[in-house]
Amino acid sequence: MLVTLAQRWLHALKIKSWPKLLAPMVLGQALGVADASGVTFGRVALAAGVGLAFTLLDAILIVLLNDWGDQEVDAIKRRRFPDAGSPKTIPDGILPADHVLLGGLVAAAALLVLGFRGGEAMGRPLLGAVATLAAGMFVVYTFPPASLNYRGGGELVEAVGVGLVLPQANAYLQSGQLASPRMLALGPALVFLAASSAIASGLSDEESDREGGKRTFATWLGNPTSRRLLETCVGIGFTMLALSPALPGGPGVWVVLPPLAVLAWHARRLPGLGEAARTNRFAEQAVYKDVLHRGLWGAQVALAVTLLVAKVVGSR
């Protein structure tokens, strides 16, 4: 039971969902260290601290503004499935809608201040532009007139934001390079893997989103086709990651082997679990998405570790 105001805000912030952004942050930081010259502990620690703050502010604005934007369809789901999932922040009265909106806007403003002021102080003058891009992508995702989360294309915005913009921002903090060859080699794989997670997010809200006029892959294609599509995205991401060492600036073959093994180990279970994760089978969908995310996040962390190991070995 959520009694205190702090408990209500902690619930609204959905901390359990933060690994979706923290894993790309860790990978981006590792990519930046791999690309950087003259690495020192102090510089790495400072960039990691700023990157963590950047990522957490991004996470906060996303979860709060998404709840504000989705309050009507969340209310539909609560009416149709009163016992499904955890309490909804606005429909279940955890926090008032205007408080949620204000919290998201404050996080967005803090992200921009960090980008412009922090980037200037660190000698990363383009960090403000990257922060503006990150916040702006969520504006077109949630707010009119674009409202891509309702009109269609929200999953694509999420795929680019989580798969490319966020790791690039963290890599830039460490190396000062935008779009390094290594980042360009790995970027397509990261976007497709992030797309699989974005599509999976809509599975549990298929019927309420459809009733509320929200256009997602799940409401457009239905549950079975959406599952096949997200599993195809995992396969394409796996293939692109396997091919990345052959691209200019790509990592060595041994660097991608551990993340490929982690991804394959979890992805092999998806087709079987997906058969049970049908429309309105919320518990089975939760298991399906948990296995997917374990594969995605585990692969990103494994890739971060092997990039750092390669950096240390190569510097000796």
Amino acid identity of residue 126, one-letter, is L
The pLDDT of residue 84: 72
Q: What is the pLDDT of residue 315?
A: 53
pLDDT of residue 3: 66
The answer to whether residues 149 and 173 touch, using CB atoms and an 8 Å cutoff, is no
Alpha-carbon distance of 227 to 70, in angstroms, equals 22
pLDDT along the chain (316 residues), means of 10: 82 93 97 89 94 97 92 89 81 93 96 95 95 91 84 92 96 93 94 97 93 92 97 98 93 95 98 95 96 98 96 72
Where does residue 53 rank: exposed (0-12), middle (13-18), buried (19+ CB within 10 A)?
middle
pTM beyond 0.85: yes
Asked whether 111 and 131 are in contact (CB, 8 A), the reply is yes
**Per-residue pLDDT reduced to its tens digit, 77-93:** 888 888 776 788 999 89
Q: Of 36, 34, 47, 41, give the one whose Cα is nearest residue 307.
A: 34
| Long-range pairs for 246-250: beta carbons < 8 A, 24 or more residues apart | 247/184, 247/185, 248/181, 248/184, 248/185, 249/180, 249/181, 249/182, 249/184, 249/185, 250/181, 250/182, 250/185, 250/186
CA distance 109 to 103: 10
The structural domain count of the chain equals 1
Residue matched to tokens 């916040």: 135
169-220 confidence digits (pLDDT tens): 999 999 999 889 999 999 999 999 999 999 999 999 999 999 998 999 999 9
Per-residue model confidence (pLDDT) at position 316: 41
The residue range of the domain holding 291 is 5-315
Predicted pLDDT of residue 129: 96
The CATH number of residue 265's host domain is 1.10.600
